[in-house]
Chain A
Amino acid sequence: MNRSKLIRFTHGACISLKELPCLDFTEFRESLLEEIAGDGRVASFFAMPADDGFDLYAILAHDWREEFALLHCRVGDVYPALTPDCPQLHLFEREIAEQYGVLPEGHPWLKPVRFHNSWVDAADIWRRDPQQHPIPGDMDFYRVEGAGVHEVAVGPVHAGVIEPGHFRFQCHGEEVLSLEISLGFQHRGLEPQLIGGPHPASIHQMEAAAGDTTIGHTTAYSQVLESLAGVEVASRAYSVRAIALELERLANHIGDIGAMAGDVGYLPTASFCGRLRGDYLNLTAELCGSRFGRGLVRPGGVAFDLDLPLQEKLLQRLAVLEPETRGAVELCFDSPSVLARFEGTGRLSTDDAETLGLVGVAARACGLMRDARLHHPVAEREFDTPVIDTDGDVFARGNVRRQEIYASHDLIRDLIKRLPEGEDQRSLGPLAADSLALSVCEGWRGEVVHVGITDGAGKLARYKIVDPSFHNWSGLAMVLRGQQISDFPLCNKSFNLSYCGFDL
């Protein structure tokens, strides 16, 4: 293969589309499969309308080489599906089919993803009426027939205060044979809103892309614009973002461990963690006034400074919170009745995790070292203590969180101590025209990947968001196979994925 046709780049690069070779489809396919076979994985894969057909872009991450590969080709409204040879593309190809009416021929599981009308004037793949809004969940669910087999349907409205989604279980007695997850209820049409931008509302929509990952998504978005504008973020702002990202991770990981403890009926840790989670959110509020980090990260830097009195305050509060957090968390991991429920439940093999392209906590719990903080820092690497576990079960996902909580405490303290002096906001000039930039941010669930493409006038012509949940929902469906249906809540909590991050 002609390797010169592959663009290799590192995080933060701005790639001129004019210099980007357009491969023919066979070459595109072979290069992609070769990259995947050579330790690559799909970070993003999307289409964009072109004059004659559609441009396909594949961005593959090579974590240990700390680089990305970019592949580009042009297809008409039909092309041979890549999913049979590269299963981690299954949702990406379904998404493209839904957005642009481009048929991946031979896709083994071609169903709608988010239930919206096509973004372009194209024939609907599923022959639905283009004048009507599609009905969410209206698709052929996988079905198991036979004596004693029954179906359980859950959602979209769930029993708790949580986001909506539909789960369809095929069960034999208590045992789950298959779980199919149908989402899209939260679809707000985020990506099309970005076209022609960045608009004044864009940053606020990014803050709500997945509201519990505000720092993750706004950092990824800001980095895309900074790369396109050719501005390097000020080192002080870079550190403040990193601190906020760890505070977000702490709050969510602690909340998750509390929720997992609650699901197995271990109330001390559930109660303690519920309170502690709020205390970490309050630290973020000390920084920017919002418990979810609204208003903090802005393209070009951060809007709030972590001044000296606030640094002292954070360090003091952390010094109190850390032993309380350790106490609450260790109590649960030291309790035989909790471990009996966590260990061996919802197990996913390393091979399956790799095939499905899992990221973040769920991948690291299966022994896959995937952490953008380690592999793809956009500037100085500030993190070198990644955590993995190998069992791939509920315990492993809890344990990765537990160790990451302790690592985050150390990282925040270290970042505050070394906080560089200087400006925390630089103004962005116009964005480079006809360019592409990729950004990766290791949010608490996993890597948040944003890609921006500009048109000839330097306005966004396509914006692609991949929340870690987009990869990981398939992992949850997989671990339910052979589990008792009563273990679904526990397995679900151990993943704790985002509905709106998936639905966009």
Chain B
Amino acid sequence: MLNMIRERLRQGHRTGKFPRQEPSLPERFRGLPEVAANLTHPQINVAVNGCPFNALSEINGKMQIDLGRCIFCADCPAVAEGALSFSRDYRLAASHRDDLRYGDDIYRLADKLNERMLKLFGRSLKLRQVSAGGCNACEADLNVLGTLVYDLGRFGIQFVASPRHADGILVTGPVTENMKSALLDTYAAIPEPKLVIASGACAIGGGPFRDCAEVNNGIGELLPVDLYIPGCPPHPFTALDALLRLLGKR
């Protein structure tokens, strides 16, 4: 007992001050990409063709990036070309699939829920998590939200064991053919009204497994998505920021 108390004192108080205080992220962290201004057509062309996941495209002579496809590669060919750079901004969540595509304009972050949904879920949001082909990186960094550093519970958000107890579903993974029906069954078991959150590049658009024969390129065509959390995997602060934004707490 005394040992336990002594250890408790050594370990100290660790719950983070987020969201009152911004997190400090590593210098090499790759957050919100920034498209370089005044790119020439050949520069854009090289960058667009260099991305193995077709995250870049040229629209009206300007380069556009799709955060639903970008996996934030450290060896991004567009970064090497100077067409793109990664900032350390961890805030990445969006409400609409189209919002994930942007150029040199301002990236539109997720909106809060409408008034009715906020009234229902604003103070208590229970989520059922389903991994549908996720590699356990997304899952691991969602689990982290339950540790005392992030302490998800203090915001009234909790992952629950049954879809019947849930207000929404949070999906990770590209949706393998073998998980499709279990995912849809889980969604169907959640009482209305319900939310759908796509977390990670795989759930949004298939991630590194896009167009593989055994996957469905994410949940976009299967479920009505309310919140997109980009990243491969999303940093825990990215996910936490996303959930708080949804509930109008940021």
Binding site for B on A (CB under 8 A): 114-116, 133, 136, 156-157, 159-164, 184-189, 192-193, 199-201, 204-205, 207-212, 214, 255, 268, 271-272, 274-275, 277-278, 282, 285-292, 294-296, 298, 303-304, 323-324, 327-328, 331, 334, 498-500, 503
Contacts and interface: CB of A to CB of B under 8 A. Distances in A.
Interface residues of B, number: 63
B27 A328 contact: no
A409 B183 CA distance: 41
Nearest to A285: B26
15 contacts: A116-B177, A116-B178, A133-B177, A160-B159, A186-B179, A187-B177, A199-B52, A201-B208, A204-B53, A204-B71, A207-B208, A275-B149, A278-B147, A323-B10, A327-B7
Task: Tell me which of B133, B161, B207, B215 has the highest count of chain A C-beta atoms within 10 A of its own C-beta.
Answer: B133
A159 B164 CA distance: 12
Contacts of A292: 137, 140, 233
A269 B53 CA distance: 41
Contacts of B188: none
Given A116-B214, A331-B7, 11 more contacts: A136-B179, A185-B176, A185-B179, A186-B178, A187-B176, A189-B214, A193-B212, A201-B53, A207-B208, A294-B73, A296-B74
Contacts of B124: none
Interface in B148-191: 148-149, 159, 161-162, 173-174, 176-179, 182, 186
Contacts of B143: 160-161
B130 interface: yes
Contacts of A136: 178-179
Nearest to B213: A189
Nearest to A252: B140
Contacts of B148: 271, 274-275
Given A116-B214, A184-B178, A324-B10, A208 B30 contact: no
Contact of A205 (B137, B162, B209, B233): B209
Contacts of B235: 291
Contacts of A328: 7, 11
B139 interface: yes
Contacts of B133: 185-188, 500
Contacts of B8: 268
B218 to A, nearest CB: 12
Given A211-B134, A211-B137, A304 B28 contact: yes
B58 to A, nearest CB: 19
B208 A288 contact: no
Contacts of B29: 285, 289
A274 B152 CA distance: 13
B136 A500 contact: yes
B116 interface: no
B108 to A, nearest CB: 25
Given A186-B176, A187-B178, A286 B209 contact: no
Interface of B: 3-4, 7-8, 10-11, 14, 25-30, 52-53, 71-75, 129-144, 146-149, 159, 161-162, 173-174, 176-179, 182, 186, 202, 207-209, 212-215, 232-233, 235-236
A275 B147 contact: yes
A163 B131 contact: yes
Task: Tell me which of B14, B148, B214, B233 has the highest count of chain A C-beta atoms within 10 A of its own C-beta.
Answer: B214
Contacts of A209: 135
A503 B133 CA distance: 9
B41 to A, nearest CB: 22
Contact of A157 (B25, B75, B182): B182
A295 B137 CA distance: 14
A210 B159 contact: no
Contacts of A271: 147-148
Given A156-B179, A271-B148, A163 B139 contact: yes
Given A186-B179, A278-B144, A500 B161 contact: no
A303 B75 contact: yes
Given A156-B182, A500-B134, A334 B74 contact: no
A162 B27 CA distance: 30
Contact of A211 (B25, B52, B136, B176): B136
Contacts of A192: 213
A59 B150 CA distance: 46
B212 A204 contact: no
A87 B34 CA distance: 55
B171 to A, nearest CB: 11
Contact of A161 (B10, B159, B179): B159
Contact of B11 (A115, A296, A327): A327
Contact of A282 (B26, B135, B161, B162): B26
Contacts of A157: 130, 182, 186
Given A268-B7, A278-B149, A164 B208 contact: no
B197 to A, nearest CB: 13
B74 A294 contact: yes
Contacts of B134: 163, 186, 211, 500
A209 B209 CA distance: 10
A212 B139 CA distance: 10
A325 to B, nearest CB: 10
Contacts of B214: 116, 187-189
B28 A208 contact: no
B221 to A, nearest CB: 17
Contacts of B14: 275
Contacts of B28: 285-289, 304
Contact of A500 (B10, B129, B135, B182): B135
Task: Tell me which of B146, B176, B232 has the highest count of chain A C-beta atoms within 10 A of its own C-beta.
Answer: B176
Task: Tell me which of B131, B178, B213 has the highest count of chain A C-beta atoms within 10 A of its own C-beta.
Answer: B178
Closest 6 CB pairs of A and B: A295-B74, A211-B137, A211-B135, A274-B147, A289-B28, A159-B161
A334 B7 CA distance: 12
B208 A163 contact: no
A204 B208 contact: yes
A188 B212 contact: yes
B30 A289 contact: yes
A6 B52 CA distance: 41
B69 to A, nearest CB: 12
Contacts of B141: 291
B139 A162 contact: yes
Nearest to A134: B178
Nearest to A156: B182
Contact of A189 (B26, B72, B215): B215
